[in-house]
Amino acid sequence: MQVTVVAGALERLSADVLAIALVELDPAKWKMPARLAALDAALGGRVADAIASGDFTGKRGESLTLHAPRSAEAKRVLLLGAGADAKLEPATLRELTAAAVRETAARKGARVAVAAPSSRRIKPPAAFQALAEGAVLGSYRFDAYLASRKDKKPAPDVQLVVERAADKRAANAAAAIGVVLAECQNLARALSNEPPNKLPPAELAKEAQKVAKQVGLSASVWGKAELEKRGFGAMLAVAQGSVNEPRLIVLEHGAPPKGAKQGARKRPTVCVIGKGVCFDSGGLSLKPSTSMEKMKHDMSGGAAVIGALRAAALLKLPLHVVGLIGAVENMPSGTAYRPDDIVTTLSGQTIAIANTDAEGRLVLADVLHHARTTYEPAALIDLATLTGACSVALGTWSAAVLGNDQRLIDRVLAAGSTTGERYWQLPLWDVHKEHMRGQIADVKQTGGRDGGTITAAAMLWHFVGETPWAHLDIAPVADTEKTSALQPYGATGFGVRSIVELLRGWK
The residue from 60, 121, 265, 287 that is catalytic is: 287
- φ, ψ dihedrals at 214, nearest 5°: -70, -35
Q: Are 212 and 219 in contact (CB under 8 A)?
A: yes
**Whole-angstrom Cα distance, residue 322 to residue 324?**
6
Cβ atoms of residues 131 and 21 within 8 Å = no
Q: How far apart are CA 506 and CA 148, in angstroms?
A: 45
Label residue 229 exposed, middle or buried (CB < 10 Å: 0-12, 13-18, 19+): exposed
Instruction: For the chain, count helices (H), then strands (E).
Output: 16, 19
437 beta partners: 443
Say how far apart CA 325 and CA 189 lie, in whole Å: 16
Dihedral (CA of 220, 223, 227, 230) sign: negative
Sign of CA dihedral 6, 12, 16, 17: positive
Exposed/middle/buried for 507, CB within 10 Å: 0-12, 13-18, 19+? Answer: exposed
Cα(268)–Cα(259) distance, integer angstroms: 15
Q: Taking a C-beta distance cutoff of 8 angstroms, is the pair 23, 122 a contact?
A: no
Amino acid letter, residue 249: I
Q: CB burial class (10 A; 0-12, 13-18, 19+) of residue 153?
A: exposed
Q: Is 407 a catalytic residue?
A: no
Instruction: Map residue 381 onto helix, strand or coil.
Output: strand
Name the catalytic one among 275, 361, 372, 497. 361
Is 287 a catalytic site residue? yes
* Cβ contact 180:315 at 8 Å: yes
CB burial of residue 369 (10 Å; 0-12, 13-18, 19+): buried
Separation CA 25–CA 182 (nearest Å): 31
Q: Residues with catalytic annotation?
A: 287, 361
